[in-house]
Amino acid sequence: MTNFDEQLEELVTANRILAREGVVDAFGHVSIRHPEHPDRYILSQSRAPDLVNVSDLMEYTLEGDPLDQQGRTMYSERPIHGGIYEARDDVLAIVHNHSATVVPFTVTDTPLRPMFHLGALIGPELPVWDIRDNFQDTSMLVATMDQGRDLARCLGDCRVALMRGHGCVITGKSIREVVMASIYLQVNAGLLLESLRLGDVKYMTPGEIELMSEGQMRPTAQERAWEYWANRAGRRKDGDKNA
């Protein structure tokens, strides 16, 4: 397998892991920037992530136009991916999901920030994007490039942006990193909901967040977590299907 083929297999594994860990269901998606053409990204055709195979993966321009559609249906929220890849050269992978554990923090003033050590990876600040601010009443879906670019502006240099009444978007420098951040965003949100019922919450300090997230990005930590999640999702580490 070429390096490109391996990345496609890894993107399939990412789809399956996010489904297995309950971060996505019928909806939600994960993309990578094309490793050889930085002005393109790779995203499945419109399909539940748990069912995605390599043959579902499609190449898109940053504007969201397919290079070879082959009659396949497409996710309507492609502008989430294009808008962010266009604005952020450093971003190589993106997850969008509707985690029910995260949504309460998108509609209230209670901030979602790291308070659990493995939540450090989500970053110290999570801006909340409200589509209504600039687009009035909509279907709530990020369906145009104007909307995707507006979301990217709100994200700024952060790793995660929350989306009011909708979900969130998580960015990273690799598939593995973005999957880890997506899983621990949900875990941290759940622990925060529980903690808020008990009393005042002590959040991690900016220094703790920096030190812990450095540790989480180390290849040994990434490798260990990926092997665990890939195995749970029925995908061997080498990307073999149905292993």
Catalytic residues: 77
**Pick from 183, 231, 241, 243: nearest CA to 5:** 241
**Pick from 145, 169, 163: nearest CA to 82:** 145
Residue 94 β-bridge partners: 31, 171
Give residue for tokens 């890939």: 230
φ/ψ of 24, rounded to 5, equals -125, 160
> Contact 162/126 with Cβ under 8 angstroms?
yes
Cα–Cα distances in Å, from 150 out to 52, 84, 143, 222? 29, 9, 12, 31
The CB-based long-range contact list for 37-45 (8 Å cut-off, 24+ gap) reads 38/89, 40/67, 41/81, 41/82, 41/85, 41/94, 42/8, 42/11, 43/75, 43/78, 43/81, 44/15, 44/75, 45/72, 45/73, 45/74, 45/75
